[in-house]
Amino acid sequence: MDIIRVEDAADPRIAGFQNIRERDLTGREGLFVAEGEVVLRTFASPACRCRPVSVLIAENRLEGLVPVLSALPGGPPIHVAPQPVLDAIAGFHLHRGILALGAKPPLMTLETLLAATDDRAILVAACGIGNHDNIGGLFRNAAAFGAAGVILDDRCGDPFYRKSIRVSVGAVMRMPTVTGLSGAEAVTRLQAAGVEILAFTPGATVALDQIRPAGRMAILLGSEGPGLPQAIIDRCRPVAIRMAGDFDSLNVAATSAVALHHLSVSGVSITGMSGG
């Protein structure tokens, strides 16, 4: 391992880690910062689609992390700093003591994603979700229930925002993802490929427990409050989750978990990827 001691928060060698909160909002030109041991281990996993560029850790964490640091592909530089210097670099107290700078995976097209799925795959698609906790939750649930991939429209937040990665427990770094399409274009192209789309909306007359999946399907979710545009709902199969009392909806991450669980226990394989 290439261990580099850092004693100055202004050290140019760790410029990519400086003032994290402000730079989270402006982006890093294809790079992202992740934090915590779970996401560090994700970089070392063969399933990770991202490349580690460098690591910055508190000096008291080094000894316990040697096995995972040694397993990082490409042998990125490992920067080690006293906790006060680490906090000064990040701009806040970093109690986990672990940061990693990574390179985002190459952009994936919807056609590439679909070509890699089998005829019983389930996809997760989202329109207009800006909350980073919800985005992270979507990815965590998609990975947990074996979805084939996630499609985020051009109004969704960046899944590689630091908080989204943390909430997803690293799933953002593993999950095949398509971004940049409008919701309408994503629906058009999914349907052209023979994918049935379930549009989740409280006003639907068909309940999720009435669905018996067959063939490739996508669950389509909108933001809390406005939900999905009616014009998109009208083009899909509207579905609701039964609620008790006068409740009409769950938050979007919880909805994705319920939907994916139902589809997985209804006899459909949602491992999704060819050879999976």
Print burial letters for 232-254: b (CB count within 10 Å at least 16), e (below 16): bbebbebbbbeeeeeeebbebbe
Least confident of 22-36, 89-103, 136-150, 158-172: 22-36
Q: What is the pLDDT of residue 250?
A: 86
Q: Does the structure show a pLDDT above 60 at 144?
A: yes
Q: What is the pLDDT of residue 222?
A: 95
Quick: pLDDT tens for 42-65. Answer: 999 999 999 999 999 999 999 999
Q: Backbone dihedral region of 227: left (phi > 0), alpha (psi from -120 to 50 degrees) or beta? A: left
Q: What is the pLDDT of residue 240?
A: 94
Q: Let me know: does 148 contact 181? Beta carbons within 8 Å.
A: no
Q: What is the pLDDT of residue 275?
A: 29
Every domain of the chain and the residues it spans: 3-103, 110-265
Q: What is the pLDDT of residue 276?
A: 27
Identical fold for domains 3-103 and 110-265, yes or no, is no
> 252-265 vs 132-144: helix axis angle to the nearest 10?
10
Q: What is the pLDDT of residue 91?
A: 86
Q: Let me know: does 116 contact 147? Beta carbons within 8 Å.
A: no
The arrangement of secondary structure in 3-103, i.e. its CATH architecture, is 2-Layer Sandwich (3.30)
Give the side-chain half-sphere CA count within 13 A for 126. Answer: 31
Quick: pLDDT tens for 101-129. Answer: 999 999 999 999 999 999 899 999 999 99
Cα-to-chain-centroid distance, residue 205: 30
Quick: pLDDT tens for 236-268. Answer: 999 999 988 777 778 899 999 999 999 987 654
Backbone phi, psi, residue 81, to 5°: -140, 150
Cα-to-chain-centroid distance, residue 136: 5
Q: What average pLDDT score do residues 84-92 get? A: 91
Quickly name the fold that domain 110-265 has: Alpha/beta knot (3.40.1280)
Q: What average pLDDT score do residues 57-76 get? A: 95
Q: What is the pLDDT of residue 27?
A: 56
Q: What is the pLDDT of residue 26?
A: 47
Q: What is the pLDDT of residue 246?
A: 75
Least confident of 27-31, 78-82, 131-135: 27-31
